[in-house]
Homo-oligomer: A and B are copies of this chain.
Amino acid sequence: MSDTGITTKKSVDFSEWYMETVLKSELADYAPVKGCMIIREHAYAIWEKIQEVFNKKIKATGHKNVYFPMFIPEGFLKKEAEHFEGFVPEVAWVTEGGSSPLEEKLAIRPTSETIMYDAFAKWVRSWRDLPIKINQWCNIVRWETKATKLFLRTREFLWQEGHTVHATSEEAEKEVMDILLEYKDLMEKYLAIPVLIGVKTENEKFAGALYTTTLEAIMPDGKALQMGTSHNLGQNFGKVFDIKFIGEDKQDHYVWQTSWGITTRLIGAVVMVHGDDKGLVLPPKVAPVHVVIVPIPYKGADLEAIKAKAREIEARLKEKNLAVVLDDREEYTPGWKFNHWELKGVPVRIEIGPRDLKQKRVTLARRDTGAKCVVKEDEAVSTVETLLEEIQHNLYAKARIALEEKTTTIKSYNEFKKVLSEKGGFLKASWCGNAKCEEKIKEETGATIRLRPFEKEEPIAGCVYCGEKAVEMVYFARSY
């Protein structure tokens, strides 16, 4: 348990503030192995909420959870050339089992396309076997060489990976988009983080995909964060792994596939977007604790009566399926408790002191604005419910405004570089569609094309880099 609050201001040193907030709020801790992390109970409870929401969404549309082995033979990874090149530089290899060297070294899954699709080739025979719509929640290992950062880039992380197999291209396209929109709903309605959606460029797409759709959010330091991706794999893997079916037309066809994922980095996004100088600010819909009740034992007060009232209100809140902590520990002061639960990001605090008790009222404090209000005891539960809704909406609205403020429409390359260095954020600029311009911009500024929006806008100028005829407006940013 942390004894002290956050000492770094979010506006002064964002990166330091982030690390301090993650550690002191006890979301995570460093692990003895470099680049790995311990996901502590407070963060894991957020992950469980994300799992609950997303499982409900995908199960309603006929997806089923499974578990495939973590070990992938080297030969499997090599089958799809682009995929192999994309992932091999960051694979961790098992070379010994017990006290003996292995005959073939085994990759720890950096993603599971290859091991799953080998099985699909066995399972799919006829159009009757399609579609396959599966998902797994598991750990993933990518041996990062870049600097790691808790939740955002670690060598092991948790994710879900969905994989579907379809008889037609149209079905696969629809699946890619359906999932993208479910992700958007999760991020905006639950995590209260607005996202832009669109398509990745060829340079930035998933290794082996036909195309990759993406959800991108902007962080307070002006860097973009890729929040999730949904890939149309076309028939690329189907051809490599020989996944064919006999259609109703009695002919052989290769299948059409998709894959899609979100990871524990979403927890990092919640910290960055909503947190403040006191610590976490959690959106009620994913907060492990909605309400903390703190009895205020002024000297000479009837503490037992206060505690009894607190327990009564706790019970009424729990009846509404709210997660409540009654912090009646006597070894900590109310002030310590206020700081502690603010650090943890609990959306609403209820204080009950002797005067509250006498006047049959309670004091409510909301975490996002710090505003306090006093309400009658019998209005406590309904007021908490209203406050939770307001907080959820307010966090999203604030983040929406920040996204808009951090999006700049750019006309020239000079302006591009100026805005990028002074303000960062999304730079909406016209692009000729040439990968070379994209690469040059990346080399010279560190910004990449985060997405090509689904809703096309007419270019407002020539290509921001080469000046030639532009084909579309795209979003650039530096990113995590």
In the assembled complex, A475 has its CB within 8 A of some CB on chain B = no
Q: Could you tell me the distance between the alpha carbons of A64 and B96 in the complex, rounded to whole angstroms?
A: 34
Nearest chain B CB to A265's CB is how many angstroms away? 14
**Contact call B128/A69, Cβ cutoff below 8 A:** no
User: Which residue of B has the minimal Cβ distance to A93?
Assistant: B96
* Contact present for A33 and B73 (CB under 8 Å): yes
Q: How far is the CA of A40 from the CA of B93 in the complex (A)?
A: 25
A38 and B98 CA atoms in complex are apart in Å by: 22
Q: Does A44 contact B (CB under 8 A)?
A: yes
Task: Bits for A54-71, please: 1 = Cβ < 8 Å to B, else 0.
Answer: 000000000011111111
Separation of A45 and B63 alpha carbons in the complex (Å):
12
Whole-angstrom distance between the alpha carbons of A38 and B163 in the complex? Answer: 15
**Chain B residues whose CB sits within 8 angstroms of the CB of A29 once the complex forms:** 119, 122-123
A32 adjacent to B66 (CB under 8 Å): no
| A92, B89: Cβ atoms closer than 8 Å | no
Q: With A1-B128, A93-B95 given, is the CB distance from A44 to B32 under 8 Å?
A: no
Q: How far is the CA of A122 from the CA of B29 in the complex (A)?
A: 10
Query: Which residues in chain A, 276-293, are within 8 Å of chain B measured between CB atoms?
Result: none
Q: Is the CB of A76 within 8 A of B32?
A: yes
Cα distance A346–B142 when bound, in Å? 40
Q: How far is the CB of A480 from chain B (nearest CB, A)?
A: 20
Determine the distance from Cα of A141 to Cα of B71 in the docked complex, in whole angstroms: 10
Q: Whole-angstrom distance between the alpha carbons of A41 and B91 in the complex? A: 27
**Main SS of chain A's interface residues?**
mixed
Q: Is A377 at the interface (CB under 8 A from chain B)? A: no
A31 CB to closest chain B CB, in angstroms? 4
* Cα-based distance from A92 to B33 in the complex (angstroms): 16
A209 contacts B by Cβ under 8 Å: no
CB pair A44–B65 under 8 Å, yes or no, is: yes
Proximity string of chain A (87-112) to chain B, C-beta cutoff 8 Å, 1 when within and 0 when not: 01111111111110000011010000
25 sample A-B contacts, Cβ–Cβ < 8 Å, listed by A number:
A1-B128, A1-B129, A29-B122, A31-B119, A32-B73, A33-B69, A33-B72, A33-B73, A40-B66, A41-B65, A44-B67, A45-B65, A48-B65, A67-B139, A71-B156, A88-B99, A91-B97, A91-B98, A92-B94, A92-B98, A93-B95, A94-B94, A96-B105, A97-B143, A128-B331
